[in-house]
């Protein structure tokens, strides 16, 4: 089986520092972001597929005393897609409307509240067909997000019972 790297971001129970953070930085290439009371930890998870990589990484986090609360989706706007891809927002709009590269199926928005938001992993899958190659690590699909989130929810419920 091939060991594939995946980018995952978890909301975790608390900020970490010192030796535990250094261990996670080394083991998972972890980067922590604290915004108010919300603490996010982005990691590089490795496995034969995204779900198994996530499960293994969750075990590593827990062994370091960190409780992952939820998987955070990497959602992007049209402007963010343009910035990450090195194109204009207008080009992204043309792709989305099928007016350019109509032979490529643009992903459906992941979220429609107020503005369209796309799941970066789905956009990343389409970009090579548009002639854009990026070094970004793949993230979880919609289904993988549900599976990983369900596993996290089950473990929280089990711990509470």
Q: Let me know: does 28 contact 44? Beta carbons within 8 Å.
A: yes
In this prediction the pTM is 0.88
| Residues linked to residue 68 through DSSP beta bridges, in sequence order | 12
DSSP strand E in the chain: where?
4-12, 31-35, 38-47, 68-71, 75-76, 118-119
Phi, psi of 129 (to 5 degrees): -70, -15
**Nearest one of 151, 128, 141 to 8, comparing CA atoms:** 141
Per-residue model confidence as pLDDT tens digits over 48-78 = 999 999 999 999 999 999 999 999 999 999 9
The count of C-alpha atoms lying within 13 angstroms of the C-alpha of 119, restricted to the half-sphere facing its C-beta, is: 18
Mean pLDDT of 130-154: 95
C-alpha to C-alpha distance for 23 and 81, rounded to whole angstroms: 32
Per-residue model confidence as pLDDT tens digits over 93-127 = 999 887 776 677 899 999 887 889 999 999 999 99
Q: Which CATH class is domain 4-72?
A: alpha beta
Q: What is the dihedral of CA 145, 150, 152, 156, to 10 degrees?
A: 150
Instruction: Report which secondary-structure segment, H or E, holds 158.
Output: helix 142-160
Per-residue model confidence as pLDDT tens digits over 15-57 = 999 999 999 999 999 999 999 999 999 999 999 999 999 999 9
């Amino acid at each position: 089986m091939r060991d594939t790297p995946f980018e995952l971001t978890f909301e975790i129970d608390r900020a970490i520092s010192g030796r535990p953070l250094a261990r996670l930085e080394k083991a998972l290439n972890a980067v922590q972001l604290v915004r108010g009371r919300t603490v996010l930890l982005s990691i590089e998870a490795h496995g034969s597929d995204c779900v198994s990589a996530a499960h293994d990484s969750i075990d590593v986090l827990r062994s370091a005393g960190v409780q992952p609360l939820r998987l955070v989706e990497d959602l992007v706007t049209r402007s963010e897609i343009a910035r990450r891809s090195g194109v204009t927002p207008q080009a992204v709009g043309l792709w989305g409307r099928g007016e350019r590269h109509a032979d490529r199926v643009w992903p459906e928005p992941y979220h429609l509240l107020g503005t369209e938001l796309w799941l970066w992993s789905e956009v990343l899958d389409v970009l090579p067909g548009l002639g854009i190659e990026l070094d970004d690590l793949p993230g979880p699909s919609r289904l993988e997000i549900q599976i990983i989130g369900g596993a996290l929810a089950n473990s929280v419920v089990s711990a509470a019972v």
